[in-house]
Amino acid sequence: MEIFYIEDGQLDAYLFHEGTYYKSYEFLGAHKIDDGVRFVVWAPNALEVYLMGDFNSWEENDLPFKKIENSGLWNICISNIKEYDSYKYRIISKDKKELIKSDPYAFHAETRPNTASKYYDIKGFKWTDNKWIKNKSESYHKPVSIYEVNLMSWKRKEDNSPYSYRELADELVSYVKEMNYTHIELMPIMEHPHDGSWGYQITGYFAPTSRFGTPKDFMYFVNKCHNSGIGVILDWVPVHFCKNDYGLIKFDGTNCFESENKRLAENEQWGTLNFDFSKPEVLSFLISNALYWHDYYHIDGLRVDAVAYMLYLDFGGKKLKNKYGGRENLDGIEFIKKLNMEVFKNYPYTMMIAEESTAWPLVTQPIDKGGLGFNFKWNMGWMNDMLKYMELDPYFRKGSQKALTFSITYAFSENYVLPLSHDEVVHGKKSLLNKMPGSYEEKFSNLRLLYLYMYAHPGKKLVFMGGEFGQFIEWNEWQGLDYFLLDYEMHKKMQIFVKELNKLYKRESCLYEEDTSYDGFEWIEHTNHQESIIAFERIDSHGDKLIAVFNFTPIERKSYPIGVTEEGTFKTLINSNHKRYGGKIKRVKSYKSTNEPMHGRKYSIRVDLPSLGGLYLKLRRDDQ
């Protein structure tokens, strides 16, 4: 075995330590070179570093690293490594302790419970998604309907084993396409030790988990999504990392990725360690990682987890202040801005979605206008209000009308995604269907009503897997969804409803084109507390209008007056209580306007409002 060392890594080391090496994954980690494979690792306070693996029978001392001059980076090059060879770093700390670590920049890893990194040549996949990439543009004025998925539990085989990336490329992608969703959002697929963490406690930021196959298998999955017209969003966790001893924790015996200040480093809520955003090397690591998933996997966006923990020093209940006496995490805020600037500089049409649960202003505004630079934010307020409202006995909803209407007062302050996410259907919160009050049939009616209202409300859409057919029990990450429920009429009809609602949403520009402006929304009726009825218009960029009317009580309202601005016949685009979807309405009606003024409008129509249901209506044009 030939051993040699690089002589020209000073510029790479300089940029990495400066915090601006946003392609650091091209240098650190294991990379093929002409004469073998080069390994580079950051261990600034180590006394010694050794490479060991399959290629040297895991001998501890015969492959010593050499430090790159004037840096905290170590390197070694060897000649006889093969793809899929497992390896680790043996680090001797400054207090002479031995640490056995996996590679923070590894592209591939052993499958849990094994913990070694694997050498893998990341290059060479034959992409066929050029048309998708070429046609990408901004998402503000497009339909975005996201299907959120946990790959371990979307569907299981008969022996309870999960599907592979390549099997999911057939099974999951075809299902999402059939259901008319525009995007898949994957809960974190970066390598992690514990299935029960759902991927949110990571050990391998640059490695798609080997639970489902190789990195190129995951590329195959993304490629299949794109060729099926489906975008791919990844959950991404730049806030914290797990404490497994082979991971990032005290990487060289000292706090490299975490703060030296224990109170800043500890994340008690999750039993993890927070990244230290004041360290330039951490910025190089994390921003590189965000770009890496775009560069090598062609992803279409990142949903950035737990942004509030990056914005506030005291978010987890700690009594910490910044140097000015405030609660803001100044380093975290700067990291977020640098992250978004760099990502959008390279990928202007990607989606950077903040999962941010506070009232921090201007999250989705440009940085030069005082914002954080994301282009979308989860609307947690809408989600919390709507779920609390829908769980009420319908006869008592009249006292909570504000829960329906308040979200419009801030709907355009940010560019929102409306989420009904995994967090709402676990830990005793019950499934969406089982949250709904009433009889068996009323539960389905309420859930259809919630979806109908959600799709009309300004903002992009996200629904967690299983919600589309009315999963009855709450989500269990250890087993697949209950697809046997589709043998039952009401669940099958719920699935048909969501499928057709997605199709209608993509077809009707009124429902998505003006999601970020009051130009796209106008109230018709929002003060009818007693009958729990609301109505509004959604308007597209050409002034075309769609009327959405909702009845949140179990009492049918015949000939209910709705003000309209134009004369003509209004056709029903969808009625959530139609028999096709599990309701009682056998046929949809059209409604002709009269000269009777109503709701400040010159004309009106009188519609039959179904119990626990709603309608989308649209003026029939001569060409329709």
pLDDT tens figures, 58-69:
999 999 999 999
Domain-terminating residue out of 343, 378, 413: 378
- Supply the CATH number for residue 70's domain: 2.60.40.10
Per the structure, the count of domains in the chain is 2
Q: Which of 344, 359, 378 is the last residue of a domain?
A: 378
Residue given tokens 């790159």 in the structure block: 68
pLDDT tens-digit map of 134-178: 999 999 999 999 999 999 999 999 999 999 999 999 999 999 999
Which residue is catalytic, options 85, 252, 266, 305?
305
CA distance 11 to 18: 10
Residue 305 annotated as catalytic: yes
* Domain with 57 in it: 3-118
Shared-domain flag, residues 99 and 184: no
pLDDT at 1: 81
Kindly state whether residues 111 and 158 are assigned to the same domain: no
Establish if 322 belongs to a structural domain: yes
User: Which pLDDT score, from 0 to 100, does residue 623 have?
Assistant: 55
Q: How confident is the model at residue 7 (pLDDT cuts 50, 70, 90)?
A: confident
In a domain, 535, yes or no: no
Stretch 531-553: mean pLDDT: 97
The answer on 316 and 179 residing in a single domain is: yes
Question: Which domain CATH number covers 226?
Answer: 3.20.20.80
Burial level of 500, CB count in 10 A (0-12/13-18/19+)? Answer: middle
Tokens for 419, please give them: 């989420």
Q: pLDDT digit string (tens) for 555-583?
A: 999 999 999 999 999 999 999 999 999 99
Model's pTM, two decimal places?
Answer: 0.96
- Do both 79 and 174 map to the same domain? no
Among 355, 508, 515, 608, which one carries the catalytic annotation?
A: 355
Instruction: Give residue 543's pLDDT.
Output: 95
- Alpha carbons 455 and 511: distance in angstroms, whole number: 7
Residue 165 domain-assigned (yes or no): yes
- Under the banding of pLDDT at 50, 70 and 90, the label for residue 4 is confident
Considering the domain boundaries, does residue 456 fall inside one?
A: no
Same domain, 192 and 292: yes
Same domain for 179 and 83? no
- Which pLDDT value is given to residue 217? 98
The answer, yes or no, to whether residue 115 has pLDDT greater than 60, is yes
Q: Is 556 a catalytic residue?
A: no
Residue 116 near residue 84 (C-beta atoms within 8 A): no
Task: Provide the b/e sequence for 69-97 (b: ≥16 CB within 10 Å).
Answer: eebbbbbbbbeebeeebbbbbbbbbeeee
Residue with tokens 């075995």: 1
Same domain, 225 and 343: yes
Burial class (CB in 10 A: 0-12, 13-18, 19+), 206: buried
Strand partners for 616: 548, 574
Question: Does residue 482 register a pLDDT over 90?
Answer: yes
Identify which of 38, 48, 32 has the alpha carbon closest to the alpha carbon of residue 8.
38
Q: Are residues 325 and 230 in the same domain?
A: yes
429 falls within a domain: no
Instruction: Say whether both 164 and 114 belong to one domain.
Output: no
The residue out of 317, 343, 378 marking a domain boundary is 378
Q: Is 37 within 8 Å of 31 (Cβ atoms)?
A: yes
What is the pLDDT confidence band of residue 418, given thresholds at 50, 70 and 90?
very high
Tokens of 302: 């990142």
Residue 138 burial (10 A CB sphere; 0-12, 13-18, 19+) = exposed
Tell me the pLDDT tens digit for each residue of 486-520. Answer: 999 999 999 999 999 999 999 999 999 999 999 99
Residue for token pair 């998708």:
132
Question: How many angstroms from the chain centroid is the CA of residue 455?
Answer: 18
Residues 345 and 209 in one domain: yes
Is the residue at 532 inside a domain? no
In one-letter notation, the amino acid at residue 445 is: S
Confidence tier at 8 by pLDDT (50, 70, 90): confident
424 neighbors 464 (Cβ within 8 angstroms): yes
Which one, of 236, 241, 245, lies nearest residue 258 by Cα? 241
Per cent of the chain over pLDDT 90 is 96
Once rounded to an integer, what is the mean pLDDT over residues 63-90? 96
Residue 622 confidence (pLDDT) above 90: no
Specify whether 74 is located in the same domain as 197. no
Average pLDDT of the chain to the nearest whole number: 96
Res 354 pLDDT > 80? yes
Phi and psi of 14, rounded to 5°?
A: -60, -50
Distances (CA, A) of 372 to 164, 337, 341: 37, 6, 9
pLDDT attached to residue 621 = 84
Q: Is the pLDDT of residue 624 over 70?
A: no
User: pLDDT above 70 covers what percent of the chain?
Assistant: 100
Is 201 contained in some domain? yes
| Region label for 128, one of left (φ > 0), alpha (ψ between -120 and 50) or beta (otherwise) | alpha
- Does some domain include residue 187? yes
Least confident of 94-108, 306-320, 390-404, 581-595: 306-320
Asked if residue 308 has pLDDT above 90, the reply is: yes
